[in-house]
Amino acid sequence: MAERKNRATQQELILAVSSRLFWEKGYAETSMKDIAGVCGFRPANIYNFFTGKESILFEILYREMVDIVVPIAHLKDDESVNPVEALRLMIENHVKLTLGEKRSSKLLFDVGLNNLSPANRKKIIRLRDDYDAIGVAIVRRGKKAGIFAKDVDDKIAVFSIGSIIARSRIWYSPKGKYSVDEIIEFMFRFALRGLGGGAVFGKR
């Protein structure tokens, strides 16, 4: 008979397995049986650790969003950081989380929100709003400092940069031409130029 594991261990196992399956196959296409199968026990046992399928999804999305926001939260109000450098840090962190380890081709994030209860959805969206606010603050400071072009819209710019990163999950392949670091470099340059701050590096 299989040995018993403790609560925390099994919760993390379920989250790790579910995360992989959700990102790979999609939320609706992943069954509790799938998850339990990979974990090595029966579906019913999942309910000893989570109240239901949705709560698993929420926990995954929430943690991921926290990982994206928390490391850059200090950039929002810190006037001492160069906006260009702040932009780089923001992109670097986001891309690394998006393309690192996991390797998946689905946009769980954009799509999974609709599978959450309104209350849970709100919590995720609040974090997404934080992310946007950080980006907007950086762009604003950059414009004020004369580094970025004044005619770019803060919000759309941040959405655009976020979109470039989020959707790289679809086309990126670890076996491809570029490393994650090179992609970060490209996206940073593209975003910086897009913001009108391209004068930093010459045209090559």
> What is the footprint of DNA within residues 12-41 (CB under 7 A)?
30-34, 41
With tokens 């989020």, the residue in question is 166
The distance of closest approach from Cβ of residue 13 to DNA in the complex, given in angstroms and rounded to an integer, is 8
Nearer to its own copies, 74 or 103 (CB): 103
Contact 69, 127 (CB under 8 A): yes
SS3 79: coil
**What whole-number distance in Å separates Cα of residue 94 and Cα of residue 99?**
9
- Residues 12, 48, 122, 126: which binds DNA (CB under 7 A)? 48
Residues 29-88 that bind its own copies (CB under 8 A): 29
Rounded to a whole number of angstroms, the minimum distance from the CB of residue 82 to its own copies is 18
Contact 75, 89 (CB under 8 A): yes
Please answer whether residues 170 and 105 qualify as being in contact, where contact means their C-beta atoms are separated by less than 8 angstroms. Answer: yes
Choose, by CB under 7 A, the member of 23, 49, 58, 109 that binds DNA.
49
Please identify which residue in the block is written with the tokens 């009108």: 196
Angle at 48 between CA 44 and CA 50, to 5 degrees: 100
**Per CB under 7 A, which of residues 52..91 are in contact with DNA?**
52-54
How far, in Å, CA of 92 to CA of 86, rounded? 10
Residues that bind its own copies (CB under 8 A): 25-26, 28-29, 105-107, 110-111, 114, 149-153, 156-157, 159-160, 163-164, 166-168, 170-171, 178, 183, 186-187, 189-191, 193-196, 198, 203-204
Residues that bind DNA (CB under 7 A): 1-7, 10, 30-34, 41-45, 47-49, 51-54
